Amino acid sequence: MEMSDVARAIAAATSLAASLGLSADDAVVLHNSNKLALRLTPCDVLARVARVGQEVAQNEVELAGRLTEIGCPIGALEPRVDPLVYTWDGFAITLWVYYEPVTPHGSSVDYATALERLHAGMRKLVMASPRFTDRIAEAKEVVADPHRSPELADADRVFLSSRLGSLRRAIEDRGVVEQLLHGEPHPGNVLNTENGLLFIDFETFCRGPVEFDLAHVPEAVCEFYPSVDEGLLDECRQLVLAMVAAWRWELGDEFPNGRRFGEELLRALREGPPWPTLDAMAARYGAP
């Protein structure tokens, strides 16, 4: 979120909380990207704030409620208020339980076990959702439109579009079983709490092979996840690198150091295997 909107977003979140009977005298910014994550105090609530128009928020709230009911390891909605997407001063706001982080961080085994539990729970749900291929299509639209990605060089545009298309075909041709997925279970969407590892931020949930989710996590985590199709995982890792590269070139992208990260992702795709994981790329090039 642009800094010019942050003060308004904080004011909207604190005002909303007060209107719901939650004491919110102060707000601490925990994360700022396409959405603003705030810790409201002294009520100790996590508020996630975005500009109105991101309709996925309602689906995320519904999914989170159902996953909590069946005992999945996720960050829960704030129980003191109704589980809704609230609107205030042009912002869509959702309210969640705030979890105090603990140390040491969970192990790769803990991460893999928690993700396996999440996937097992998601397999039980019947819920309308996009497919992972919809996200590929969105990335291709960014690449195909010079107005949406004006700084992307023509050669890179052709390369990235081709790679996105070929990877989609390769993965679909495998005919693997698909299920409901988190969509982006990378370390930034995992909380280490007294209740164990909890997954948050389900706005990109989709249906696809579990390897699509695994392509977002550290390599060591995949080693402890059962029955991984290594060939499919390699293709999904390439796909994730290509999609993230496309989004880093989109006009108005608010990711810190986004252009540089996009350049490095393109370089990694051209260099070939072994395919790096997103967390390894972020650590190497200083991305958050």
Pick the closest to residue 6 from 39, 35, 44 (CA basis): 35
The answer to whether residues 156 and 257 belong to one domain is: yes
Q: What is the mean pLDDT of residues 201-214?
A: 96
Q: What is the mean pLDDT of residues 217-237?
A: 97
Residue type, 269: L
Spatial contact of 165 and 26, defined as CB atoms under 8 Å apart: no
pLDDT at 4 over 80: no
The pLDDT mean for the chain works out to 94
By percentage, how much of the chain surpasses pLDDT 90?
85
pLDDT confidence bin for 286, thresholds 50/70/90? low
By percentage, how much of the chain surpasses pLDDT 70?
98
Residue with tokens 């005002």, as numbered in its chain: 15
The CA distance from 282 to 264, in Å, is 10
pLDDT at 102 over 70: yes
The answer to whether residues 237 and 165 belong to one domain is: yes
The answer to whether residues 171 and 261 belong to one domain is: yes
The answer to whether residues 152 and 279 belong to one domain is: yes
Query: DSSP state, 187?
Result: G
Q: Which domain holds residue 85?
A: 3-97
Give the residue from 78, 97, 116 where a domain finishes: 97
The CA distance from 161 to 157, in Å, is 6
What does the pLDDT read at residue 56?
61
What does the pLDDT read at residue 141?
98
Radius of gyration (Cα) for the chain, nearest Å?
19
The answer to whether residues 74 and 126 belong to one domain is: no
What's the pLDDT tens digit per position in 228-239?
999 999 999 999
The answer to whether residues 194 and 254 belong to one domain is: yes
pLDDT at 54 over 60: no
Q: Is residue 206 situated within a structural domain?
A: yes
pLDDT at 55 over 60: no
Spatial contact of 112 and 197, defined as CB atoms under 8 Å apart: no
Q: What is the mean pLDDT of residues 74-83?
A: 97
How much is the pTM? 0.94
